[in-house]
Amino acid sequence: MFLPHEVLDHILDYLHDDFETLGACALASRALLQTSRHHRFNECEVGLRRMRELLPLLGASRDLANSIMALKMVPRIVPAELLDSLQHLPALRALRTSVDSLPAAAHVPRLTSLHVQGHQRIRGEELLRGISMFPQLEQLILDGVFLKAEEGSAIPFHPPAPPLHRLHCSNGDCAAVVWKWLAAEDAIPTHISLMYTIRHRMSAARFAESCGPLAPLAQDLEIRFIPDGNMDGALHGVDFDLSSFTSLRSCTLRFASYEMCVPQNLSLTWIPRILAQLRSEDLRSLTISLVVDNVEDLRSLNSECAVRVLTCAYFDDMCVLDWASIGNALLSESLAGLKTVAIEGQHTWGPLKTYIRASCPEMHSRGILSLVPVGPIPRWV
């Protein structure tokens, strides 16, 4: 007795990330082959060796080629003959590749999503020309893309810009150049998101310079403060200001400190100072994460060569934060639309909640604060 195809497809949908089982299903019955193959190859991550193995299969099986809709190319530099194979993927719509391979990726002009990772610097003119080769592009992610030092922000020409709906820039220094190009071509994306890591003064200054033009229109912002020393050293003398991000809808601020979460840790005083810079009436959700050295291994105190292990701060230890100043920043009229403030930490949160209720009763009464338990090891550090 055979089940209807709709029922079989629904069953296989539950196995979408179980590749071993999907392979067994594909071999078990021809009725299961097409859906199993779709889930198995819909999103492919391929290295250099696997790409060479995949090429003969694409020529032998059109169904397999039609199943690949998203491709992540792991190697930094991909041989030209392998890039040529992209034209044999008629269903490919999303590609993740390095900036080195961007010019040769024009074999798939029908892409709607492009994720470019920067492994070496590129001329601004080459970057814009590479992006313009995808006339149907709707989503662009620029991850750590740096321009060559002599390039500057002046581009001699503006190629046609794709109709982007979403632009995401992560670190790098190309955001301003890309934005000026899109604005000149009247192709401003409807959604702009930014993610930057600040480790020292240079990265803080780069953030201010690169993101300045995009700040008034950015809807999502994530900043990771991971200073090599302390926050004073990373931000001292830098014109770091978030007040120009007036259209934010969500914001994530992550702070890492190689000291303990104690009153003597002066880096912690920057948390309310940075929160006080937020000026977006559209801001609805705010996430704050704190990672410190919890000194889990006491032997490190007596070791000159101890390795600092950063873990999420305990909720109990967060009582040392200036909650009165934090409350004043979050309750300002400029953040009148704020609905949720998530504080990430670990272990029991009861004492901290009681402390916040006593030190900042107005914020507690609004019910916007949420203490979110997370695992001890953060993925973002």
| DSSP alpha helix (H) spans, the chain | 5-13, 19-28, 30-41, 48-60, 62-67, 80-84, 124-132, 175-184, 201-211, 231-235, 270-275, 323-330, 350-359, 361-366
Do residues 310 and 275 make contact, with C-beta atoms less than 8 angstroms apart? Answer: no
pLDDT for 328: 93
Task: Give percent of the chain above pLDDT 90.
Answer: 48
Query: pLDDT tens-digit profile of 58-69?
Result: 777 777 888 888
The tokens for 101 are 């391979």
Give the residue, 213 or 79, on which the prediction is more confident: 213
Q: Report the half-sphere exposure of 180 (CA within 13 A, side-chain side).
A: 16
Candidate ranges 4-8, 180-184, 371-375; pick with highest mean pLDDT: 371-375
**pLDDT higher than threshold 80 for residue 150:** no
Average of per-residue pLDDT across 86-113: 81
Lowest mean pLDDT among 102-116, 162-176, 363-377: 102-116
Lowest mean pLDDT among 29-38, 222-231, 296-305, 349-358: 296-305
Confidence class for position 16, pLDDT limits 50, 70, 90: confident
**pLDDT higher than threshold 90 for residue 37:** no
Enclosing H/E stretch for 45: strand 43-46
Task: Look at the block and give the residue holding tokens 């590129």.
Answer: 122
Helix (H, G, I), strand (E, B) or coil at 43: strand
Q: Distance of alpha carbon 101 from its chain centroid, rounded? A: 21
Confidence class for position 226, pLDDT limits 50, 70, 90: very high
**pLDDT higher than threshold 70 for residue 232:** yes
Query: pLDDT tens-digit profile of 343-368?
Result: 999 999 999 999 999 998 998 888 99
pLDDT for 1: 43
Residue 269 to residue 280: CA distance in whole angstroms: 22
Query: pLDDT tens-digit profile of 269-319?
Result: 999 999 999 999 999 999 999 999 988 765 555 555 556 789 999 999 999
160-194 burial by CB neighbour count: b if 16+ within 10 A, else e? ebbebebbbbbbbbbbbbbbbbbeeeeeebeebbb
> Angle at the Cα of 240 (from 239 to 242), degrees rounded to 5?
130
pLDDT for 247: 95
Helices 201-211 + 175-184 axis angle, to 10: 0
pLDDT for 287: 98
For every residue of 226-273, DSSP letters joined together read --SS-HHHHHTT-----TT-TT-SEEEEEEE-SS-SSTT-GGGGHHHH
> Residues with Cβ < 8 Å from 40, sequence gap 6 or more?
19, 22, 23, 26, 67
Residue 98 to residue 119: CA distance in whole angstroms: 7
Query: pLDDT tens-digit profile of 263-275?
Result: 999 999 999 999 9
Neighbours of 158 (CB within 10 A): 15
Do residues 183 and 153 make contact, with C-beta atoms less than 8 angstroms apart? Answer: no
Average of per-residue pLDDT across 82-104: 80
Average of per-residue pLDDT across 131-154: 84
The tokens for 162 are 């794709």
pLDDT for 354: 94
> Residues with Cβ < 8 Å from 43, sequence gap 6 or more?
69, 70, 71, 72, 94
**pLDDT higher than threshold 60 for residue 321:** yes
**pLDDT higher than threshold 70 for residue 39:** yes
**pLDDT higher than threshold 50 for residue 26:** yes
Mean pLDDT of the chain: 86
Do residues 205 and 212 make contact, with C-beta atoms less than 8 angstroms apart? Answer: no
Average of per-residue pLDDT across 154-168: 82
Give the residue, 376 or 48, on which the prediction is more confident: 376
Beta bridge partners of 345: 373
